Structure 1
Amino acid sequence: MGLNMAFALADRNLRVLVLESGDMAETAENRDLSADELLTPDTHYAPEITVTRRLGGASNLWGGRCVPCDPIDFQARPWLDLPAWPVTKADLDPYLGPACAALGAGEPVFSDPVPSLTLCDDAFDTDRLERWSDTPRAQVLHRDRLETDPRVMIATGVSVTGMDHNAAGKVTALRVWMNKATGHVPVRQVVLAAGGNASTRLLLNVQAETPALFGGPDGPLGRYYMGHVNGQIADIIMTDEALHDALDFYVDGHGSYVRRRITPTDATQKAHRLANVAFWPVVPEIAQAAHRSGPLSSVFLGLGLPGLGSRLIAAPIRLKHMGPKPWRRGPHLRNLMRDPIKTATFVPWFLWHRRYARHRIPGFFLKNPGRRYGLEFHSEHLPSPDSRMTLSKARDHTGLRRLRIDFRFATRDVESVLKAHIALERWLEETGLARLEYRFAPADRAAGVLFEARHGNHQEGTVRMAHTPQEGVVDGWGTCFDLTNLHVVSTAILPTSSQANPTLTALQLGLRLADRLVQNSVSVAHREAADA
Structure 2
Amino acid sequence: MVDDWDGSTSENSDVCVVGSGPVGLSLATRLAAQGVRVLLFESGEKASNPLIQSLGNAEIDPAAHDDMAIVTSRQLGGTSNLWGARTLPFDPIDFEDRDWIGVRWPITYTEMASYLPDAVRATASGAPVYVESLGSDQVDRAFAAAEAGFRADVLERWANEQRAQVIHREAIRNDPRLVVCTGMTVTGLRFAENGLVEAVEVRGSKDGAPATVPVRQLVLAAGGIETTRLLLAAQRSAPERFGGSDGPLGRYYQGHVVGEIAEIHFARPDFARAFDFRVDSHGSYVRRRIVASAETQRAARLLNCAFWPVVPKIGHADHHSAILSMIYLIMKVGPVARLLVAEKIRQMNLTPDDSSVWAHLLNLLRGAPAAAVFGVEFLAKRFDRKTRLPGIFVRNSGGRYGLSYHSEQLPNPDSRLTLTADTDRLDLPKLKIDLRFLSQDAELTLRQHVLLENWLREAGLAQLRYHLPEPERVASILSQARHGTHQIGTTRMGFSRRDGVVDRNCTTFDCPNLHLATTAVLPTSGQANPTLTAVALALRLADRLARR
TM-score, with length taken from structure 2? 0.92
Q: Could you tell me whether the CA contact under 8 Å between 2:439 and 2:478 is conserved in 1?
A: no
Say which SS state the counterpart of residue 174 (structure 1) adopts.
strand
- Cα distance, 1:323 vs structure 2: 2.4
Q: 1:526 aligns to what?
A: none
- The 5 Å alignment of 1:68-217 reads 68-80=89-101, 82-116=102-136, 117=141, 118-178=144-204, 179-217=207-245
Q: 2:312 aligns with which of 284, 296, 304?
A: 284
- Cα distance, 1:317 vs structure 2: 1.7
What one-letter code is carried by the residue in structure 2 that aligns with 1:352? A
For each residue in 1:201-253, what CA deviation from the matched residue of structure 2 results, as whole angstroms up to 9, or x when unmatched?
Answer: 11111111221111111111100000000110000011156642211111111
CA distance in 1, matches of 2:385, 2:202: 41
After superposing the two structures, state which structure 1 stretch, 480-489 or 26-35, moved more.
26-35
- Cα distance, 1:133 vs structure 2: 0.2
CA distance in 2, matches of 1:327, 1:286: 9
CA distance in 2, matches of 1:307, 1:166: 48
Q: Could you tell me whether the CA contact under 8 Å between 1:66 and 1:130 is conserved in 2?
A: yes
CA distance in 2, matches of 1:308, 1:140: 22
Q: 2:14 aligns to what?
A: none
Q: Could you tell me whether the CA contact under 8 Å between 2:316 and 2:354 is conserved in 1?
A: no
CA distance in 1, matches of 2:263, 2:107: 38
Q: Could you tell me whether the CA contact under 8 Å between 1:133 and 1:256 is conserved in 2?
A: yes
- Cα distance, 1:308 vs structure 2: 1.2
Say which SS state the counterpart of residue 262 (structure 1) adopts.
strand
Q: 1:270 aligns to what?
A: 298
Q: 1:336 aligns with which of 364, 373, 377?
A: 364
Q: 2:390 aligns with which of 362, 366, 384?
A: 362
After superposing the two structures, state which structure 1 stretch, 17-26 or 5-14, moved more.
5-14
Q: Could you tell me whether the CA contact under 8 Å between 1:303 and 1:312 is conserved in 2?
A: no
- Cα distance, 1:4 vs structure 2: 1.5
Aligned pair 1:5/2:33, yes or no? no
Say which SS state the counterpart of residue 100 (structure 2) adopts.
helix
Aligned pair 1:64/2:85, yes or no? yes
Q: 1:261 aligns to what?
A: 289
Aligned pair 1:450/2:471, yes or no? no
Q: 1:525 aligns to what?
A: none
What one-letter code is carried by the residue in structure 2 that aligns with 1:12? Q
Q: Could you tell me whether the CA contact under 8 Å between 1:79 and 1:270 is conserved in 2?
A: no
After superposing the two structures, state which structure 1 stretch, 65-74 or 311-320, moved more.
311-320
RMSD over aligned CA atoms reads 1.4
Q: 1:529 aligns to what?
A: none
- Cα distance, 1:83 vs structure 2: 3.4
Q: 1:47 aligns to what?
A: 68
Q: Could you tell me whether the CA contact under 8 Å between 2:203 and 2:426 is conserved in 1?
A: yes
After superposing the two structures, state which structure 1 stretch, 153-162 or 325-334, moved more.
325-334
Q: Could you tell me whether the CA contact under 8 Å between 2:489 and 2:522 is conserved in 1?
A: yes
Q: 2:534 aligns to what?
A: 506
Aligned pair 1:388/2:416, yes or no? yes
CA distance in 2, matches of 1:408, 1:92: 28
For each residue in 1:34-61, what CA deviation from the matched residue of structure 2 results, as whole angstroms up to 9, or x when unmatched?
Answer: 11011x2211112232111000000111
Q: 1:479 aligns to what?
A: 507
Say which SS state the counterpart of residue 386 (structure 2) adopts.
coil
- Residue identity over aligned pairs, in percent, reads 47
Q: 1:25 aligns to what?
A: 47
- The 5 Å alignment of 1:226-245 reads 226-240=254-268, 243-245=271-273
What one-letter code is carried by the residue in structure 1 that aligns with 2:469? A
Q: Could you tell me whether the CA contact under 8 Å between 2:263 and 2:401 is conserved in 1?
A: yes
CA distance in 1, matches of 2:231, 2:350: 35
Runs of 4+ more than 6 Å apart: none
CA distance in 2, matches of 1:240, 1:431: 12
Say which SS state the counterpart of residue 32 (structure 2) adopts.
helix
What one-letter code is carried by the residue in structure 1 that aligns with 2:147? D
CA distance in 2, matches of 1:485, 1:403: 25
CA distance in 2, matches of 1:426, 1:160: 53
Q: Could you tell me whether the CA contact under 8 Å between 2:126 and 2:284 is conserved in 1?
A: yes
CA distance in 1, matches of 2:500, 2:37: 30
Say which SS state the counterpart of residue 214 (structure 1) adopts.
helix
- The 5 Å alignment of 1:341-352 reads 341-352=369-380
- Cα distance, 1:148 vs structure 2: 1.3
CA distance in 2, matches of 1:340, 1:241: 24
CA distance in 1, matches of 2:268, 2:354: 39
Structure 1 unmatched ranges of 5 or more: 521-532
Q: Could you tell me whether the CA contact under 8 Å between 1:114 and 1:242 is conserved in 2?
A: no
- The 5 Å alignment of 1:244-255 reads 244-255=272-283
- The 5 Å alignment of 1:407-426 reads 407-426=435-454
Q: Could you tell me whether the CA contact under 8 Å between 1:50 and 1:315 is conserved in 2?
A: no
Count matched residues: 518
Q: 2:13 aligns to what?
A: none
What one-letter code is carried by the residue in structure 1 that aligns with 2:544? R
Q: Could you tell me whether the CA contact under 8 Å between 1:240 and 1:432 is conserved in 2?
A: no
